[in-house]
Structure 1
């Protein structure tokens, strides 16, 4: 019985190696199921899946993020959604095994369109050697944004940025919104970018570069990572996906919770991202595809991913395992994830981030004020949705 499986792990990456070994073990245990693995470049994955589904050639199982589920949850082919609602395929016990927030992230409206297998978020990472050389104490959970700025100023030199931060990217700006008392959405799910709090957060973040000059010439995510990796940045806000890259470069790497805003008492809250396994509605082997999805999101496989790639687990059983929760790297990211910003899995979310990127760019180059750019972003989203 063939099951076509699409994944997006990087070529020869640790993620791909663990995934491949997991599929091989499944195949040995289930010789009647022939798993056909296809790697799709991440940026092409969603569109290729939509195209395949429209042609009646969708894979049986596909790796999707919660954002991608939100982007395609409303799309249908011949009156049917692209993805299978997994609720009827799971027992109550299987559903309860997942952390509630992880399962919720893979729901579109009421339908459960993916089994969450991993999650991730960002914390504050720092180069301990640069702090030692400057005679500064390391970042800690009691740090305020004021402390972050003071340290960044002290650590900035002609060659070193105090904090390398891609300030025009919404993913890196979102943590600051909640710290200033703003929100991405209201309780009804409508975008709420236009607010004094979010505007103040935007001005503060952009001022790190344009006023205080502590961010260096960072204009992309890759330049941020490269700068920190090569010892030319004292701090970054980044995820566990880059931990090994930094550690292997010889940096004496430190980690801390993101600081809180001393004026509001609210801590920076990063987005928590999820990846999971979705079954195509068109699949003719749904029971087998679900069986494979359950294995790829099982406790055994999640432990391997967590310890091998520092991705965070989505099963309560794995999360409570001391080897995971008390791990010197994973523990900090797990604690930060508990303080993350919840984001609904809807079409609107993807639109919001696109418009927020535009607002950051327009405010950064002086074309508009923060208030005006955020008002324009809200208006554009409502216009696109016909609200």
Structure 2
């Protein structure tokens, strides 16, 4: 998911900036350079980053260290706005002008691979090193029997809550089931005072998925079977609409501002609970309700009636353009960026979840409460489908969820429309 805000200030409350910590797992070794990649003087690797401004600061520090340690490689770092990066890379690569390295959102990678725009990384990224990566983000690197990316960062939506508000209402722990979630949200709501147990982002289907999985629904499997309109998915949407109709969340449909409205509701105490990911941590901790950061609660998504739970696993990975003339140097850069030490720097400076298991054992990461609690959320999260069409599924999904919230369609009608669009997208 795209990160929308500053994430420096808050993480300083929980973790100090790393300086010189060592990785417990060796960085992968690039294959020997071939003669075509040995011009006179340093080679230049063009790197398109889609990180936000604060993450770019950390990235530039790491790249400066890389260039100092590898004087034979220079990095031409270009910051590409996330919203347009998918189309920009596709168009440039098809025209033979792609960057050597791209920070690719997880859903873009199989699409680019299917189009022949990426270099397979199996001969660079050994199986032994892959064992140091968390299973969920590593799955996004694999498609059609090959490895196409090195996981850079991962994330998942969590239940974020105001501990004091819950405690004042008699709840000393976050809800573990959707029944408990409803009960708590109902008790915490006072519409006459504009106080709410929960605030939901109504315009984005990504935020519907945890409810969908909790009630037994699904998206698409890797055999391209569609489950978005099954009984569980419909029940998940019915439950979400019940929260609105029973006035345990405000009925506010604001496509332009709903993300910021949701965060502001938690920061100001207007709402006790929301769903959001680790990228939002700094913004949320800047709110008046979290002057004491220990009041900020993080919990996994509550389980549905059959004990099921889920949250969409997101993230990014580093990929190499198939037409790159400096693939060995490109992988040398990727290996450096993705070693445990540098993942730990991003974690502590920017609140991001590492993809390497060994990064979580580095003391500065291990002692960071926020990271460890988000990691527990990730452990119960759900991968999205790794298919070339995966980056296009929300085009039809979000408008239909909006139609349900606007009472233009029933939950079944809305999700049937999503399924029909997806079957057409999949050529079925």
Q: Structure 2: which 5+ runs fail to align? A: 1-42
Say which of 297, 301, 305 aligns to 1:258: 301
Give 1:348-363 correspondences, 5 Å limit.
348-363=389-404
Question: Residues 204-224 of structure 1, C-alpha deviation per residue, up to 9 Å, x if partnerless?
Answer: 112212333423536322221
RMSD between aligned alpha carbons? 1.9
Say which of 129, 138, 141 aligns to 2:172: 138
Q: How many Å separate the matches in 1 of 2:282 and 2:234? A: 35
SS in 2 for 1:73: helix
CA contact (8 A) 1:115 1:293 kept: yes
Note the C-alpha offset of 1:321: 4.3
Q: How many Å separate the matches in 2 of 1:284 and 1:259? A: 49
Q: How many Å separate the matches in 1 of 2:166 and 2:135? A: 39
Question: Residues 185-227 of structure 1, C-alpha deviation per residue, up to 9 Å, x if partnerless?
Answer: 2462322112111101111112212333423536322221122
Q: How many Å separate the matches in 1 of 2:80 and 2:299? A: 34
Q: Structure 1: which 5+ runs fail to align? A: 76-80
Note the C-alpha offset of 1:366: 2.5
Note the C-alpha offset of 1:337: 0.7
- Paired position in structure 2 for 1:78: none
- Paired position in structure 1 for 2:109: 69
TM-score (norm 1): 0.91
1:206 is the counterpart of 2:241: yes
The farther-off stretch of 303-312 and 65-74 is 65-74
Q: How many Å separate the matches in 1 of 2:120 and 2:402? A: 38
Say which of 152, 155, 159 aligns to 2:185: 152
Change in Cα spacing, 1:95 to 1:9, as seen in structure 2 (3 Å) is: same
Note the C-alpha offset of 1:136: 2.4
Note the C-alpha offset of 1:342: 1.7
CA contact (8 A) 1:165 1:218 kept: no
- Paired position in structure 1 for 2:264: 226
- Paired position in structure 2 for 1:37: 77
TM-score (norm 2): 0.83
Note the C-alpha offset of 1:279: 0.7
Give 1:75-94 correspondences, 5 Å limit.
75=115, 81-94=116-129
- Paired position in structure 1 for 2:38: none
1:244 is the counterpart of 2:282: yes
Change in Cα spacing, 1:95 to 1:213, as seen in structure 2 (3 Å) is: closer
CA contact (8 A) 2:396 2:418 kept: yes
CA contact (8 A) 2:389 2:425 kept: no
Question: Residues 138-169 of structure 1, C-alpha deviation per residue, up to 9 Å, x if partnerless?
Answer: 333x6221221222122223232221111342
Note the C-alpha offset of 1:276: 1.3
Note the C-alpha offset of 1:347: 2.8
